[in-house]
Amino acid sequence: MHPVITSNPSQRSLGEIFRRTILAWSQSSELLPVIADPRWPSGDGVQVNLLRNAVAPLFKPRFTLGDTEWPELGLHSCPYPCLLCVLEGEADIRIGTVPAMTQVRKETVAKQGVCVFSLPSRSCLIVPAGVPYSDGKTPHWERPQPENAHSQILWLQILPTGAIVHICRTAGTSHTHISAVFIKDTQLSVLMQLMLEETESSTRADAILLSYLATLLLCVDRNWASSHIIEARETTHFVTLPERRENMHLDDTGIFPDDSQDAALERACRYIQSHLPDAISPGEIARASYVSVPQLKRIFRAQLDTPIMKYVTSQRIEAAKTLLQRTDLTIEEIGKICGYPHRTHFSRVFKASIGFSPQAFRSINRTSNRSERSS
């Protein structure tokens, strides 16, 4: 029986849809998980095909207020992972790939290709952070006869501070976002990261993926049941995080080999992402990274060219930008979620970082969204 979704479901009805479908399917092994990677075994009913004539140079994305986009390919990328579950019908989701190298003005460059994942009902596509995927501006249908398109998809965008859940519907040539809620839980991003890491390194990837996915969905349901949710307004904007500087090494001290630097930096960044609401210090980050504070400071300087606490601030501001763009949470609520319990302090740090107050940033973004829709 297909889930019945109203035009604007409430928090409670959206939670019931989640519980009756995705959670129930995962617990009864009826949910088919797939990683957004053409190398991943697609499973029964899932087809992966290269979209013809859809290539563009990798180095020509377009950056907007909060997006990295390839508009000519119908793709965008997000620094946070997401998963989508097909509740009803079939859905075609574009995933960016790098299929080949090509010659451009005597230089060899990578070209961005597009794979299409054709997903049946009861399938779940996991999209790791940074992987380009469908921008949601067109129906999820890449086959002939678009009038036959029909799907309902529930999306979970996993943020360091929780998850934004929304449903989209494709019917013929129309594509609409129906509703969204924000679920507050800093552990969801940790579970998602562990799931992807374990899946990549395990010889029993399928079993690992199913176990972690079931646990993550149970955590979402737990927060729903305990009312750790807030109504949110869905838009199509995401944020980009500071890029890591490649080929940066420590100077002639030679204290750390590169692999130790990478491991410590990864542990530090993971700890920061999962503790954005908390009053964290360099000492706490260093302990979680298994290095001393001076060592960690040198690693951040060498690898990211930034002080530790400045990096923490940047992550908090990026998370705040996402919530300002994609939810109707108050400025106070967003500040607390992102580690700033006092609105005045939050507004001062936010404006110093991007040049706008939180309210002004939200207003500018919404004006931009209305202009894009009208055009």
- Cα 129 to its chain centre, rounded Å, is 5
- Residue 177 pairs in a beta bridge with 168
| Angle, in degrees to the nearest 10, between helices 343-354 and 358-374 | 60
User: Is the domain of 88 the same as that of 195?
Assistant: yes
Note the pLDDT tens digit of each residue in 4-25: 444 455 666 778 888 889 999 9
User: Is the domain of 129 the same as that of 218?
Assistant: yes
Q: What is the mean pLDDT of residues 354-362?
A: 92
Check whether 69 has a pLDDT greater than 70.
Answer: yes
Looking at 232, 249, 272, the residue that finishes a domain is 232
| Backbone torsions φ then ψ of 28, nearest 5 degrees | -100, 15
> Which tops the pLDDT comparison, 37 or 98?
37
User: Is the domain of 168 the same as that of 31?
Assistant: yes
Domains in the chain: how many in total?
Answer: 2
User: Is the domain of 27 the same as that of 132?
Assistant: yes
Domain membership flag for residue 237: no
Query: Is residue 292 helix, strand or coil?
Result: coil
User: Is the domain of 223 the same as that of 125?
Assistant: yes
Domain membership flag for residue 47: no
Check whether 232 has a pLDDT greater than 80.
Answer: no
Check whether 325 has a pLDDT greater than 80.
Answer: yes
User: Is the domain of 220 the same as that of 325?
Assistant: no
Q: What is the mean pLDDT of residues 78-90?
A: 89
User: Is the domain of 88 the same as that of 228?
Assistant: yes
At which residue do the structure tokens 């989508």 appear? 84
pLDDT at residue 247, as a whole number: 31
pLDDT at residue 62, as a whole number: 56
Instruction: Sort strands 82-89 and 75-77 into parallel, antiparallel or unpaired.
Output: unpaired
User: Is the domain of 191 the same as that of 318?
Assistant: no
User: Is the domain of 225 the same as that of 337?
Assistant: no
Residue among 139, 150, 93 nearest 118 (CA): 93
The Cα–Cα gap between 341 and 325 comes to 20
> Which tops the pLDDT comparison, 296 or 368?
296
> Which tops the pLDDT comparison, 79 or 16?
16
Note the pLDDT tens digit of each residue in 110-158: 556 788 999 999 999 999 887 889 988 878 988 888 889 999 999 998 8
User: Is the domain of 219 the same as that of 119?
Assistant: yes
> Which tops the pLDDT comparison, 240 or 14?
14
pLDDT at residue 286, as a whole number: 85
List the CATH number of the domain containing 338.
1.10.10.60
Q: Residue 255 — pLDDT band, cuts 50, 70, 90?
A: very low
266: CB partners within 8 A, 6+ apart: none
How high is the mean pLDDT of the chain? Answer: 77
Looking at 202, 232, 262, the residue that finishes a domain is 232
Note the pLDDT tens digit of each residue in 155-191: 998 887 888 888 888 888 888 877 678 888 888 888 8
Domain membership flag for residue 220: yes
Domain membership flag for residue 282: no
> Which tops the pLDDT comparison, 196 or 60?
196
pLDDT at residue 173, as a whole number: 84
Residue among 132, 84, 97, 368 nearest 240 (CA): 132
Residue among 67, 273, 8 nearest 158 (CA): 273
> Which tops the pLDDT comparison, 244 or 278?
278
Q: What is the mean pLDDT of residues 54-78?
A: 64
- Residue 353: which domain range? 312-374
Check whether 228 has a pLDDT greater than 70.
Answer: no
User: Is the domain of 223 the same as that of 331?
Assistant: no
pLDDT at residue 200, as a whole number: 77
Domain membership flag for residue 89: yes
Domain membership flag for residue 243: no
User: Is the domain of 208 the same as that of 330?
Assistant: no
pLDDT at residue 224, as a whole number: 80
Check whether 72 has a pLDDT greater than 50.
Answer: yes
Domain membership flag for residue 247: no
Check whether 335 has a pLDDT greater than 90.
Answer: yes
Looking at 184, 216, 232, the residue that finishes a domain is 232
The Cα–Cα gap between 285 and 313 comes to 14
Domain membership flag for residue 150: yes
